[in-house]
């Protein structure tokens, strides 16, 4: 450590999906940050490999549907049913989650 940009580019782009490639590069950057070393992931070579992989593999993220009131109610009902199935009191569960958020 620190890794050479060419090594990062070769290692990261070993025939994987672009999402995996992004995670690998992020992990390498994080490891360098923890070690207090300069990260090679911002080098032009590494960025070119990332851009090329996205361009070749056509990795446009899928657009998710918006969270509507109906979906929120559906999720709330499922959570309530699972809490009850686990033998818990839904009111205590809600109180507990509110305490953890605040």
Write the pLDDT tens digit of every residue in 23-75.
888 888 898 888 888 888 888 888 888 888 777 776 666 778 888 888 888 88
What pTM does this model have?
0.50
Residues 10 and 53 in one domain: yes
For 15, residues 6+ apart whose C-beta sits below 8 A from its C-beta are: none
Does the residue 53 lie in any domain?
yes
Look at phi and psi of residue 15 and say left if phi exceeds 0, alpha if psi is from -120 to 50, else beta: left
For residue 39, what are its two tokens?
């990260």
> Which structural domain range is residue 28 located in?
5-57
| 23 within 8 A of 53, measured Cβ to Cβ | no
80 shares its domain with 49: no
Q: Do 31 and 53 lie in a common domain?
A: yes
Number of domains the chain contains: 2
One domain for residues 36 and 77? no
The verdict on residue 92 lying in a domain is yes
53 shares its domain with 19: yes
What is the reported pLDDT for 12?
A: 64
How confident is the model over 72-89, as pLDDT tens digits? 888 888 888 888 888 877
At residue 96, the pLDDT reads 55
pLDDT for the residue numbered 101: 46
Tell me what pLDDT residue 62 has: 72
């Amino acid at each position: 450590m620190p890794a050479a940009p060419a090594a990062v580019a070769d290692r990261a782009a070993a025939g994987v999906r672009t999402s995996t490639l992004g995670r690998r590069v992020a992990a390498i950057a994080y490891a360098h940050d923890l070690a207090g070393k300069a990260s090679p992931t911002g080098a032009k070579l590494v960025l070119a490999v990332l851009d090329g992989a996205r361009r070749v593999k056509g990795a446009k993220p899928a657009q998710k549907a918006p969270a509507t009131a109906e979906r929120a109610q559906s999720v709330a009902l499922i959570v309530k049913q699972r809490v009850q199935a686990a033998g818990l009191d839904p009111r205590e569960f809600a109180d507990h989650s509110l305490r953890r958020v605040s």
